[in-house]
A and B are shown apart, each in its own frame.
Chain A
Amino acid sequence: LAKTTQPISMDSYEGQEVNITCSHNNIATNDYITWYQQFPSQGPRFIIQGYKTKVTNEVASLFIPADRKSSTLSLPRVSLSDTAVYYCLVVLGDNAGNMLTFGGGTRLMVKP
């Protein structure tokens, strides 16, 4: 089972780019990397998912190096509303058990 490690917390200021790195040293060939965002007292919300290289959508980019042992979520020009907990998950590409484990999460605080 691929376990993830993230920084516990990060601070940033409005308008800055934020990069959150997740380590997943024992990722397997079929695993995907997925990031979720969670606000207090709400359910997590899907942000982005990738397998290798770079993925970009309207809210974030995900950078995955060739060895796939880590990944970096990049949030461009953050605002106060991006203050949340960000979770990195490694999700098995096949229908096996124990693949839906959230890591500890990174608490991002965006300051004015």
Chain B
Amino acid sequence: DTEVTQTPKHLVMGMTNKKSLKCEQHMGHRAMYWYKQKAKKPPELMFVYSYEKLSINESVPSRFSPECPNSSLLNLHLHALQPEDSALYLCASSLDRAGDTQYFGPGTRLTVL
């Protein structure tokens, strides 16, 4: 299995809602990432987990809360988001170190009303 899956594909939420994005891989990778991508812009790194520990947080607002329950799963908990947080949220994984070849999921298209 060489796939990274993300659920849901689309999510619409209000500014007072709490929701979660889910990412899963079964390639035995030990590094997992969250990126945010706005339209016609490159992906921007948000968080990196290495061996289930948060290793990089790119100064992301606390309304985004990552969680890595085990080596195969990565969640992104969302709370009190703003309309400008609407974007494509991409999950990726790599074998070991941050910087190894990354395998990306299809993304979750998030709209904040």
Q: Which residues of A are interface residues toward B (Cβ below 8 A)?
A: 32, 34, 41-46, 49, 87, 91-95, 97-105
Contacts and interface: CB of A to CB of B under 8 A. Distances in A.
Contact of A49 (B4, B43, B101): B101
Given A44-B90, A102-B43, 9 more contacts: A41-B88, A41-B109, A44-B104, A95-B50, A95-B98, A97-B56, A100-B48, A100-B98, A100-B99
Given A95-B99, A99-B98, A100-B98, A87 B42 contact: yes
A43 B90 contact: yes
B72 interface: no
21 contacts: A34-B101, A41-B88, A41-B109, A42-B104, A42-B106, A43-B4, A43-B92, A43-B104, A44-B90, A45-B104, A46-B103, A49-B101, A91-B99, A93-B99, A94-B97, A94-B99, A95-B97, A95-B98, A100-B99, A102-B43, A104-B42
A94 B100 CA distance: 10
Contacts, number: 57
A38 B104 CA distance: 10
B45 interface: yes
Given A104-B42, A105-B42, A92 B105 contact: no
B33 interface: yes
A12 to B, nearest CB: 20
Contacts of A99: 98-99
Contacts of A43: 4, 90-92, 104-107
A98 B109 CA distance: 25
Contacts of A98: 56, 58
Nearest to A107: B40
B99 A46 contact: no
